């Protein structure tokens, strides 16, 4: 693979073992934090399992999750900020790696 892919795997593994920092069912701007986390982590799992490849629908979802994180990151409580910032970095890294591979 490549170094970026390896970094994404490490970030995913770190988040996977991190306790979820928010109360269940909490919404910020109508975005359920648990659902966002589950959906994005599931997408990251697919990305890693497919060696850095997402299909067209998955890429659309990835961009949607990044957009949702962009909206809520600065509204989260301190205890949630670190986790969701790392989740955001995971999503951004995946998108950058996909775009980089497309340009090669």
Number of separate domains in the chain? 1
Contact criterion met (CB below 8 Å) for 91 and 40: yes
Structural domain of 96: 25-103
User: What pTM was computed for the model?
Assistant: 0.92
Q: What pairs with residue 31 in β-bridges?
A: 28
What mean pLDDT is predicted for residues 77-93?
96
Identify the pLDDT of residue 103. 60
In a domain, residue 2? The reply is no
In a domain, residue 19? The reply is no
In a domain, residue 35? The reply is yes
In a domain, residue 90? The reply is yes
Above pLDDT 90, what percent of the chain?
87
Count the Cβ atoms, other than its own, within 10 Å of residue 64: 14
In a domain, residue 9? The reply is no
What mean pLDDT is predicted for residues 57-65?
98
In a domain, residue 4? The reply is no
In a domain, residue 45? The reply is yes
Residue 79, phi then psi, degrees to nearest 5: -65, -25
In a domain, residue 16? The reply is no
């Amino acid at each position: 693979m490549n170094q970026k892919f390896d970094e994404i795997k490490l970030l995913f593994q770190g988040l996977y073992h991190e306790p979820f920092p928010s109360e269940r069912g909490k919404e910020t701007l109508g975005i359920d934090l648990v659902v966002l986390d589950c959906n994005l982590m599931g997408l990251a799992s697919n990305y890693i399992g497919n060696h850095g490849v997402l299909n067209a629908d998955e890429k659309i979802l990835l961009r949607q999750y990044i957009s949702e994180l962009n909206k809520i990151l600065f509204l989260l409580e301190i205890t949630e900020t670190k986790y969701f910032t790392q989740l955001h970095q995971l999503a951004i890294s995946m998108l950058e790696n996909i775009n980089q591979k497309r340009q090669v």
